[in-house]
Structure 1
Amino acid sequence: MKKYITTASLLMLSLVTTSASAKVSQEEANKLGKSLTPLGAKMEANAAGTIPAWKGGLTSKNTTKSKNSGRPDNPFSQEKSLFEITSANFNEYKANLSAGQIAMFEKYADYKMPIYKTKRTAAYSDELYDVVKKNATTAELVQSGNGIANFDTAIPFPIAQNGSEVIWNHITRYRGGTAKRFITTIPVQSNGSFVPVKMNDQLVWPEFLKGGRDAKKDNNILFYYLQQITAPARLTGTALMVHETIDQVKEARKAWVYNAGQRRVRRAPNVAYDGPAAGVDGLRTADNFDMYNGAPDRYNWKLVGKKELYIPYNSYNLLDTTAKYDDVIQKGHLNADYLRYELHRVWQVEATLKEGARHIYAKRTFFIDEDTWGASVIDQYDGRGELWKLSEAHNIQYYDVNTPWMVAETIHDLNSGRYLVTGLSNEEPAFITWGKKVKRKDFSTSALRRLGR
């Protein structure tokens, strides 16, 4: 981590434009770690005491190390739920539910949310907190909010002042620096049937490449990404590579696919916005992955404010390797026995499609966890303005590596009754490997071709 921070250079984007928002003063930044958490959340408990004060979260310093850092031990395995929200009583809790969550109760008589005592487990390393605090006084929105200048590593706007800054915090949030995952994506049909799609993917920030960030080669690069499908047979060998740019208006995301049938690498400009994704049976768009990703230029971003919402949190039960996918997957939704919801403060941001812009979602309402800046719940609306899809991120704190991230994400089509779950690993021998250095050439088109074969 120390090498990561010392080798990370400020991403000074050479954009001839006026900043869309001002950086905060040093006096404001000094609230981080005092009245605000080091990432900018309210330090204090809520008035009702149902959301506790943040006291440092779960970290490698204060939590017993797991035997497997990719599947950390569940520190709350003995806890019982406080109560359940069901289709019979959800009206009592509407104030703390999103429109999409309410629609799930209205659609499925057996849908349940087990509610547990809130645990504010999110935590990063002290070194990263220092970087985030510095970002608060230097980072600026540019290109009308479509890019960032003077930003280092992660979370440019811990003291966010508008919707664009909040969504950039989600896009740039820290996910361990380098991680390789062995995961399963499962498109579930309306009758509950499914065929698992197995894949591995690798995510790396330039600072974690062997040799570190290269000021020229990595200019405007946020991260590098590889994905390879390994099952079923009809999709085996399909591979995707992405060089994720920060300002995608100035320089579009660079993406390539290896098609096993054609045995060739091709540029893939449609891996963006509402372009199709492989292995998901049409249930998500390219920018639905990781809840939301990519260029924010097609939407207007309105910061509504903060609210208290029941969101998936500390979802360690979804890592249960004694469970089979048949146990976790049910018709219409996941099995509530493996879920955990808690009451947390979230930022609410409304994204509405700009006039003249094209996307299958005309509006999206984001609910972003204040402690991690990760989008936890998203309601998505069609061109007629009708609620269409609900996305949820089932997060945990990977306390061995000081990183909050999801163990699974779901997207429900509220019209068809189908849904997609991505990230499950219950039947996989391994889940996440952290910290392995890779070479820049591992993210070349020739490497992609070899990966596909």
Structure 2
Amino acid sequence: MLIKHSLMGAAVALALSAGSALAAVSADEAAKLGTTLTPFGAEKAGNADGSIPAWTGGITQPPAGYKGSGQHHVDPFSEDKPLFTITKANLDQYKDKLSAGQIALFNSYPESFQMPVYQSRRSGSAPQWVYDNTLKNATTAKLIEGGNGFADAYGGIPFPIPKDGVEALWNHIVRYRGTYITRRSAEVAVQRNGAYSPVVSEVEALFRYYNPKGSYADLDNILFYYLNFTKSPARLAGGAALVHETLDQVKEPRQAWAYAAGQRRVRRAPNLAYDTPISASEGLRTADDTDMFNGAPDRYEWKLLGKRELYIPYNNYKIAGEGVKYEDLLQVGHINPALTRNELHRVWVVEGTLKSGSRHVYSKRTLYLDEDSWQAAVVDQYDGRGELWRVSIAYLKNYYDLPTTWSAMEAFHDLQSRRYHVQNLDSEEPTTAVFDKPEPEDSEFTPSALRRRGTR
């Protein structure tokens, strides 16, 4: 914004760039939500040639055959067939609708990496109370100083009509994923030769920001609690971790504790933030890579580059279907393309460039956020030389038992080492994510509770 002949206009522009209270949109602009825009701020209309359809509410009820929470999801689009498949041979035809990272995967694995493309189905949906809160947030939410959090928003997308990159980034960080979730799943680091060893854990997350009975005032700077109990392999079994995820992590860094089963001791886990390598990923994922991006945004200058059409993983029910064997899914270099589904969708493009004087292994990161859910579908990350280094891919689907659009699993590719890491594998487990268990008290997410619940 630049109003050359108005001192007040200049002041407004400065206030907006600083993330002040003026970041909220007007009531007239917010009125577009649910009319020309979806309740989350996406364009309701399809694109010009109809390859992206209009949003008509998404999935509003589970498909036939789905029996209830925890069951592996029935594919509501199982009869769909690929429209075409992108390969290295025809890559030039589709480059304009692929990210630099996706193109790099074709070039790295020209004989095997493919993207089957299906009919685009805008299946994204969320509960009405989340839509209602999002509408309220649109006219009240504001970034706090430095963009290190926000105020006066709760229980919905804080900035459904974003004005800058930091607002769009926060929409991803606090997107809706239920209130209380439990899940047993595996993560693997796949080596150059395809070898891997699963680490199986049971996790619990209590998203305090989405407590229907709460409010922003109740947060006390805690967005959610997270517990992880390692079940296998034997050398790691019994270990556990607890995280208190703070909103403003510059003011109050996230707090984390680790439980050592052999010693039956709980210790504070330091520095679990920014580019700290995650041990279970064998260094293929940083702390803030998790969930495609999380934590404090303060080390980067974030720009909102607008929207573009991109082929992204969407409605990936087959990839996480009950009984899919990890050995069939995990191939050398990448996930088995035959089990994936990609669709053309509009995405917000958010670019983060490392600030002068700040330290991080990534000099730049580009996030592609699904317009219907604010979930990051693809993230491209660059090293200190400005070379593309890592590519993160989230295989999205609608968890229609909630409902919400979230990743079925996430893959983190290292283009230099030619290895990759996968989270949230659960097709060999008896259940998938469960959202309807009674919500525990905050007291169940304390260091003393961690020790009490820990096992040898």
TM-score of the alignment, normalized to the shorter chain, above 0.5: yes
Summarize deviations over 1:349-400 as a string: whole Å, max 9, x none.
1101111111111110110000000110000000111000000101111112
Summarize deviations over 1:394-433 as a string: whole Å, max 9, x none.
1111112111111100000001110011111111111111
Matched, 1:125 2:127: yes
Residue matched to 1:182: 184
Residue matched to 1:5: none
Residue matched to 2:244: 243
- Whether the aligned pair in 1 keeps the contact of 2:209 and 2:216 (CA below 8 Å) is no
Q: Residues 277 and 269 from structure 1, CA distance in 2 versus in 1: closer, same or farther, beyond 3 angstroms?
A: same
Return the TM-score normalized by structure 2.
0.92
SS in 2 for 1:316: coil
- Whether the aligned pair in 2 keeps the contact of 1:202 and 1:225 (CA below 8 Å) is yes
TM-superposed deviation, 1:452: 3.1
Q: Which residue identity does 1:39 align to in structure 2?
A: F
- Whether the aligned pair in 1 keeps the contact of 2:158 and 2:171 (CA below 8 Å) is yes
Q: Residues 358 and 26 from structure 1, CA distance in 2 versus in 1: closer, same or farther, beyond 3 angstroms?
A: same
RMSD of Structure 2 on Structure 1 (CA):
1.8
Q: Residues 36 and 65 from structure 1, CA distance in 2 versus in 1: closer, same or farther, beyond 3 angstroms?
A: farther
Matched, 1:66 2:66: yes
Summarize the alignment of residues 49-198 of structure 1 with structure 2, pairs less than 5 Å apart.
49-60=50-61, 63-64=63-64, 66-70=66-70, 71-108=72-109, 109-198=111-200
Residue matched to 2:6: none
Cα distance in 2 for residues equivalent to 1:135 and 1:420: 36
Q: Residues 130 and 64 from structure 1, CA distance in 2 versus in 1: closer, same or farther, beyond 3 angstroms?
A: farther
- Whether the aligned pair in 1 keeps the contact of 2:134 and 2:158 (CA below 8 Å) is yes
- Whether the aligned pair in 1 keeps the contact of 2:240 and 2:259 (CA below 8 Å) is yes
Cα distance in 1 for residues equivalent to 2:333 and 2:218: 46
Residue matched to 1:14: none
Cα distance in 1 for residues equivalent to 2:36 and 2:213: 35
Greater CA deviation, 406-415 or 256-265? 256-265
Matched, 1:422 2:418: no
Matched, 1:432 2:433: yes
Q: Which residue identity does 1:164 align to in structure 2?
A: V
- Whether the aligned pair in 2 keeps the contact of 1:186 and 1:280 (CA below 8 Å) is yes
Residue matched to 1:12: none
Structure 2, unpaired ranges of 5+: 1-17
Summarize deviations over 1:171-203 as a string: whole Å, max 9, x none.
010101111011110110000010011111111
Residue matched to 2:348: 347
SS in 1 for 2:348: strand
- Whether the aligned pair in 1 keeps the contact of 2:188 and 2:281 (CA below 8 Å) is yes
Summarize the alignment of residues 264-343 of structure 1 with structure 2, pairs less than 5 Å apart.
264-343=265-344
Q: Which residue identity does 1:427 align to in structure 2?
A: E
SS in 2 for 1:333: coil
- Whether the aligned pair in 2 keeps the contact of 1:182 and 1:200 (CA below 8 Å) is yes
Summarize deviations over 1:257-302 as a string: whole Å, max 9, x none.
1133543212123111111223211110111111111111111101
TM-superposed deviation, 1:327: 0.7
SS in 2 for 1:309: strand
TM-superposed deviation, 1:22: 1.9
TM-superposed deviation, 1:150: 0.5
Q: Residues 216 and 376 from structure 1, CA distance in 2 versus in 1: closer, same or farther, beyond 3 angstroms?
A: closer
TM-superposed deviation, 1:451: 3.4
Cα distance in 2 for residues equivalent to 1:73 and 1:387: 37
Residue matched to 2:380: 379
Cα distance in 1 for residues equivalent to 2:35 and 2:452: 50
Return the TM-score normalized by structure 1.
0.92
- Whether the aligned pair in 1 keeps the contact of 2:63 and 2:74 (CA below 8 Å) is no
- Whether the aligned pair in 2 keeps the contact of 1:32 and 1:40 (CA below 8 Å) is yes
SS in 2 for 1:348: strand
Cα distance in 1 for residues equivalent to 2:101 and 2:263: 40
TM-superposed deviation, 1:65: 7.1
Structure 1, unpaired ranges of 5+: 1-16
Cα distance in 1 for residues equivalent to 2:36 and 2:442: 41
Cα distance in 2 for residues equivalent to 1:195 and 1:130: 44
Residue matched to 1:9: none
TM-superposed deviation, 1:94: 0.4
Q: Which residue identity does 1:123 align to in structure 2?
A: S
SS in 1 for 2:125: coil
Cα distance in 2 for residues equivalent to 1:239 and 1:78: 42
Q: Residues 318 and 68 from structure 1, CA distance in 2 versus in 1: closer, same or farther, beyond 3 angstroms?
A: farther
Cα distance in 2 for residues equivalent to 1:207 and 1:151: 9
Cα distance in 2 for residues equivalent to 1:142 and 1:42: 27
SS in 2 for 1:67: coil
Q: Which residue identity does 2:403 align to in structure 1?
A: N
Cα distance in 1 for residues equivalent to 2:210 and 2:396: 23
Q: Residues 216 and 86 from structure 1, CA distance in 2 versus in 1: closer, same or farther, beyond 3 angstroms?
A: closer
Identity %: 52
Residue matched to 1:225: 226
TM-superposed deviation, 1:213: 4.6
Residue matched to 2:405: 404
Residue matched to 1:4: none
Q: Residues 110 and 97 from structure 1, CA distance in 2 versus in 1: closer, same or farther, beyond 3 angstroms?
A: same
Q: Residues 214 and 399 from structure 1, CA distance in 2 versus in 1: closer, same or farther, beyond 3 angstroms?
A: closer
Residue matched to 1:31: 32
